[in-house]
Structure 1
């Protein structure tokens, strides 16, 4: 074998290929791009949460030297760009014309020769606002006398954004509760938080009036879906729009939606005939782009004979002023009804209603598969509340109530089919790493000395990899992904994807899949993505779809190439297809391993003038569109150990044990990096991250001085473990992991804080974030900290 064939290939702890350019400062982000003749755009945003717009005077701004244009809603009406669809089949004003419905809503856009002049001009636009009463509490928004927010919608008489959605069996659930020997109820809030990616949102739009071609540079998570939306909004032929996504400084769901700023940039380029660049600042990102969570959840849980039997949930989802929640069309409440969690319930019933409020549109899937994060938080808090009531160890209650290994595939009481799992084993691995019994003894000793130590547990099952064509689409677009693979005459390969990386290591992981399937060294596989002219159509990256869907597509397309290579090998070896066997990198004759031909020699033959199988036209390539048969269901057991300072109420996460089962791991190092990042985000959500509003609808967290995110000082050295239960329907047995740590960590930390405070202070419930002020108020017997 040649030296190139001797190099290690396939799965394993391969260092990320893309990191070399990042650590050298050679990344190519949106703000690095400069185009000839490019001008800059800035957006005027409303200072009010709810106000009528009586007039807009732009004359002073237009008179400022360097200003090329000022765009208002009236201008967009002329262009046919006044309204845009959201991904929940709602409509959203690109620029407010009649009234503003949340603080930070887009009112006007200025185009100028540089960004400083554009921002200066914003101060010269005179808007006559007539303030209206605002409502930022979702419960109050449902009151009969609440101000009507969406009076632009014909027939809208209240602030409901959608009809109540239900899942499960209400009668069976009532029966389970009637027969139960223990029932616990809680009102639980998952507060509004923000993905806060390092790189904010932005776009460069370059419309050529002579050709009608629109080139877009934009760091978004679903380039093909964005292109389809822009084609509809702007009335352009889709093939005349090209989106190119370079390196993206984080997404976490924040870069899934189409924002009004994007449409304004397109309109600006159409008006000006030159490239228009818009980059939002941090305050704009925090105040007006896609939020997450903001759920008010009322729940009851019951048990009989020491086992959880039933769950009842009633949810109010705050969607802000426009319903732009990212979720499949047929599931208006997302996958919230995976609220059954990891438990073998007798029955469950869940109701969810969406509500308009005078807040920025919310509902992005912040490192979350369509509301599963909120559902897991609810059920894991309820299980701990039930364990407190029953005076049993929270792990013991979980172990008695888990779905058993021999019950898989398991259909939940709300209709989802979990593919595989061994929950008991994963929980035991976490307990072993933590030294659970020793921890409980340490806790008892510290309690005797008046120290506040808490141990919190969570166990989650997540549904990722949306989705099967028959069940899932967004805006009518099926949630499938494509992959194209071509092996060049030199033996080098290029695989093109519809997935879009924002730091997950796609260039490495997908190269490893091709390497494993074909025996080509991963460094010889180039991964292309982020260019709609050069990649197959697909619905992008969110909901942990990368490996479950795009990874499966890459595996399938590699196998199609391998099958083509088999036919060529049969011609070279002068034998029948059925007489050949595959080993990594070569086909050989069964029973005679020496008689074989490598993938490299097969590739040479594919491009040569020598004989090929009948019907072959040369070359070695394939294309697929992968339609997953089901979601995949990763799961995990998390244990958090916290210390609460009795004098300051500061919570310190001292240890965090995370045992994830994400099926087969392609690159364990990348998996561990994803888990580390998600756990850090989970700690931030549990302890400090929250977007709040005053009674007038003013956002109180418009900068990183007010919206705190965790640093290395707030996170411990994570202790990771794993179990491996392959997904039975995924070509590689993989399940996905990118969102799991964000799903499982907040309830573990909250449960730990309550565990620390319950015996000494009687605290049996506390909502996130666990700030010192909130924890101190709870220790003093107050439900909320002083304002």
Structure 2
């Protein structure tokens, strides 16, 4: 397959933008660059009150008593809400995205530091914060469980003792693959390599924290909610289930969102509490969390203890992979992932390689940590799976004395094997994996880098070269296999053309900065020839958009992008019928060119889409069965996931005295199918690479033995800046997905999936003279220095 199937047209609009695919500036940036974005904390609703949440200072304790009398006496306080208040309204518990239940406010006990205990509603946000100090809560401390490995000990405190009959902290056991076959393959293998590793807890840390404004109209019974969320329609359904308000009386509006990365998929107690506050006071109530609340109590990601095994022949043919995972899901299982897959897509631990057998077991446990487990810039645990398999391949290369690039080239899936069904049953759609890795090696100058490394080692300098190859599974569909709380993962899309040929496209996905208003306009432009600036993309309002499950798992372009393409194709087909009626010819006599239908052999006889739209709204007598207007509505149920992939190479230098890691070069070759807007794709890749460098080298949410969160501010939770990132070197290959209408695969999370193992592999490669085989992320200077201690450096090692 080649990119020529979907080549962007060369024509441009009057504004100079491409008609269809191509590089153009983002339509939405005009308002953002002028400071005219509409973010939640900018919104002021008449009569609005402000809310603040009292959070538990301890990780595990019984609540003996809560005294709110002094807070209620505050002159500016309008309401104080406790768990008892919610119990009287039957709103004490709410469903999580994993079909667990979570306390909106703690009633019997607190189960993690930062858990919501009470909410104050006041006339201004300062008074609401001040009044929190007036609430007196007496706690009876309990021993916390912060280590997932100890959560299943028989004598471990039971965290979810609110569930009748529960006697331990076990959530689920889940497996994929063929255990018996994997055991056979491992028993016969020449080489078996085993390694335990941790993918630590990290946080999306979006620029804008979570918040909401809830306004309940007591007269009409209508609830309007403005919130920073990635899935407005799913939120509306859950509000209806929790609060008992008829769904048609709920409107969810998501304004501009300052980043989400999965953090804004779920419903947090603060959202529900704002609704309760509005019900009780009869006024709109606004709640916006601060940075500490965001880091401490909203959904985290990762926190997987993993044991990997890889089997191979002596000459380097990979035979099988076995994985045993312990997943820390916090105090409530709120992990955002499809119902049928409690461990997410850990099926893709087989990576990008042609194996004989694979088996994976995942055990989920409760701990006294914040709940959740978002699809943080990854498609439901693919990031952890790719990290594990790519570390194991490097460990195998070390065991065999093989070059890690050559070992991968020997085992990568070949183009003729696609569509390829993995040993866990997932069908990879298309790809030329060796070509992508060879291109990355060419850009990097791989042989020259290895020569440079040999010379530096002879001088006692530490230089590392790390490689990772990843396959992602994105799109979150089809609905028969994937749902959240029974809601199938299909997306709606509505396209409407006005009489003058201008268009409105209504989407069910919600942007958080990815450029949806530009990308989706270009998709419609590609199909209809309408200038992108003449296409208005509407999203983020449940009363003005069709139902869908929102944005996460890189599903926007693979699912809603497909919906938009199909809707545009249906409009084009209808325009053909109307054109034939106007020109008094058969539809078979018409041919399509960019933006118009014309008579075969006589291009002068034709109608542009704009002209057809006017005819569709006018007096032209239309054929029987053809309604007026020019529009289409689509519910797109993807037949399969799409599978973008990439090859990454990282070059690092390590200071032997301090352990400081410097990322000197990073080469990323991605294949996401045809690129609608290369500039937006590059921006997604650049951001994801920075994200991955941060996770590999500095980001971690840690806890002390008492369950105190270490990493609750940007003084402790470090994020990468331009100082820690090199100038990215990017490349591309193009293999369209055979089942997407335009061949598009998605790109939003690829770089975050592929970059951490490349960085870690590079650091471990640099530390080879010290005999270091593995070290867990984050590879901070202290952790790297500790890995080197007690190990004399050797300068006589050959570089593979």
TM-score by length of 2: 0.97
Q: Quick check: 1:50–1:358 contact (8 Å CA) kept in 2?
A: yes
CA distance 1:46–1:403, shift in 2 (3 Å): same
Counterpart residue number, 2:715: 705
In 1, distance between residues paired with 2:288 and 2:388?
37
Q: Deviations over 1:245-271 (max 9, x none)?
A: 110000000000110110000000000
Change in CA separation of 1:3 and 1:497 when aligned onto 2, cut-off 3 Å:
closer
Question: 449, 455, 464: which one pairs with 2:459?
Answer: 449
> Residues 726-780 of structure 1, C-alpha deviation per residue, up to 9 Å, x if partnerless?
000000101000000000000000000000001x211110000010000000010
SS in 1 for 2:542: coil
Q: Which residue of 1 aligns with 2:219?
A: 210
SS of the equivalent of 2:163 reads coil
Q: Which SS does the other structure have where 2:767 is aligned?
A: helix
SS at match of 2:200: strand
Match of 2:487 in 1: 477
Aligned to 1:105: 115
Q: 2:798 matched to which residue of 1?
A: none
Specify the SS of the correspondent of 1:647. Answer: coil
Paired position in structure 1 for 2:392: 382
The CA RMSD over aligned residues, in Å, is 1.2
Task: Report the 3-state secondary structure (helix = DSSP H, G, I; strand = E; otherwise coil) of the residue aligned with 1:566.
Answer: helix
Unaligned runs of 5+ in 2: 1-10, 792-800
Mapped partners of 1:447, 1:420: distance in 2:
40
The count of corresponding residues between Structure 1 and Structure 2 is: 780
CA distance in 1, matches of 2:733, 2:12: 37
Q: Does 1:160 align with 2:170?
A: yes
- Residue aligned with 1:377, SS: helix
- In the other structure, the counterpart of 1:245 is 254
Q: 2:548 aligns with which of 515, 538, 541?
A: 538
What displacement does 1:588 show?
1.3
Q: Which residue of 1 aligns with 2:337?
A: 327
1:440-589 → structure 2 map (5 Å cutoff): 440-589=450-599
Aligned partners of 1:136 and 1:5: how far apart in 2? 57
- C-alpha distance in structure 2 between counterparts of 1:299 and 1:604, whole Å: 63
Alignment of 1:219 with 2:220, yes or no, is: no
Q: After TM superposition, list the pairs within 5 Å mapping 1:328-727 onto structure 2.
A: 328-727=338-737
Corresponding residue number in structure 2 for 1:785: none
- How far the C-alpha of 1:564 sits from its partner, in A, is 0.8
Match of 2:311 in 1: 302
Determine if the alignment matches structure 1 residue 198 to structure 2 residue 198: no
Find the aligned partners of 1:620 and 1:472 in 2 and give their Cα distance.
33
Aligned 8 A contact 2:12 2:19 in 1: no
For residues 17 and 415 of structure 2, the distance between their equivalents in structure 1, rounded to whole angstroms, comes to 39
Q: Secondary structure at the match of 2:201?
A: strand
Q: Is the 8 A contact 1:556 1:624 kept in 2?
A: yes
1:743 equivalenced with 2:753 (yes/no): yes
Gaps of 5+ in 1: 783-787
Structural mapping, 1:110-121, within 5 Å:
110-121=120-131
Moved over 3 A (4+): 1-8
Cα distance in structure 1, aligned partners of 2:517 and 2:13: 24
3-state SS of paired residue (1:483): strand
- 1:61 is matched with 71
For residue 669 of structure 1, report the CA deviation from its aligned partner: 0.4
| Deviations 1:193-249 (CA, angstroms, capped at 9, x unpaired) | 000000000000000111100000001000000000000100000010001111000
Give me the whole-angstrom Cα distance separating, in 2, the residues matched to 1:286 and 1:120.
21
CA distance in structure 1 between the partners assigned to 2:381 and 2:372 by the alignment = 12
Measure how far apart 1:7 and its partner are: 6.9
Q: Secondary structure at the match of 1:465?
A: coil
Paired with 1:105 and 1:670, the residues of 2 have a C-alpha distance of 38
Counterpart of 2:106? Answer: 96
* C-alpha distance in 1 between matches for 2:152 and 2:404: 36
Cα distance change on mapping 1:319 and 1:781 into 2, 3 Å? farther
Query: What TM-score results when the alignment is normalised by the length of structure 1?
Result: 0.98
Q: Distance in 2 between matches of 1:420 and 1:364?
A: 28
Q: Indicate conservation of the 8 Å contact 1:513/1:666, yes or no.
A: yes
Give yes or no for contact 1:483–1:553 (8 Å, CA) kept in 2.
yes
Shift of 1:615: 2.6
Match of 1:183 among 177, 192, 195: 192
Deviation at 1:6, TM superposition (A): 9.4
Displacement of 1:2: 13
Per the alignment, in what secondary structure is the counterpart of residue 743 of structure 2? coil
Give SS of 1:102's match.
coil
Deviation, 1:614, is 2.0
| Per-residue CA distance 1:581-627 (angstroms, 9 max, x = gap) | 11110111223323221111111111111222223332111100000
User: Are 1:170 and 2:198 an aligned pair?
Assistant: no
Measure the CA separation in 2 of the matches of 1:768 and 1:202. 31
Aligned mates of 1:401, 1:327 — CA distance in 2? 30
Q: Which of 235, 260, 263 is the equivalent residue of 2:244?
A: 235
- Residue 274 of structure 2 corresponds to residue 262 of structure 1: no
SS at 1:283's partner residue? helix
Q: For 1:64-83, list aligned pairs within 5 A.
A: 64-83=74-93
Q: Secondary structure at the residue paired with 1:174?
A: helix
Task: Check whether the contact 1:367–1:742 (CA below 8 A) recurs between aligned residues.
Answer: yes
- 1:5: Cα distance to partner? 11
In structure 2, the partner of 1:775 is 784
Contact 2:206 2:261 in 1 (8 A): yes
Q: 1:150 aligns with which of 156, 160, 166?
A: 160
User: In the alignment, does 2:19 pair up with 1:19?
Assistant: no
Matched ranges for 1:746-757 at <5 A = 746-757=756-767
2:7 match: none
Equivalent position SS for 2:464 = strand
Secondary structure at the aligned position of 1:648 is classed as: coil
Q: Structure 1 residue aligned with 2:299, among 290, 314, 317?
A: 290
Q: Does the CA contact (< 8 Å) of 1:318 and 1:362 recur in 2? A: no
Pairwise CA distance, 1:577: 1.3
Q: State the Cα distance separating 1:337 from its structure 2 match.
A: 1.2
* Counterpart Cα distance in 2 of 1:465 and 1:567: 33
Deviations along 1:535-584, whole A, 9 cap, x unmatched? Answer: 00000000000100010000000001111101100001111112211111
Partner Cα distance (1:602, 1:235) in 2: 46
User: Could you tell me whether the CA contact under 8 Å between 2:12 and 2:18 is conserved in 1?
Assistant: no
Q: 1:5 to 1:191 in 2, by over 3 A?
A: closer
Asked if the contact 1:293–1:362 (Cα under 8 Å) also holds between the matched residues in 2, the reply is no
1:31 paired residue among 13, 16, 41: 41
User: For residues 638 and 714 of structure 1, what CA distance do their matches in structure 2 show?
Assistant: 18
- Per the alignment, residue 795 of structure 2 pairs with none
Between the aligned partners of 1:554 and 1:346, the Cα distance in structure 2 is 39
| Contact 2:17/2:24, CA 8 A, preserved across alignment | no
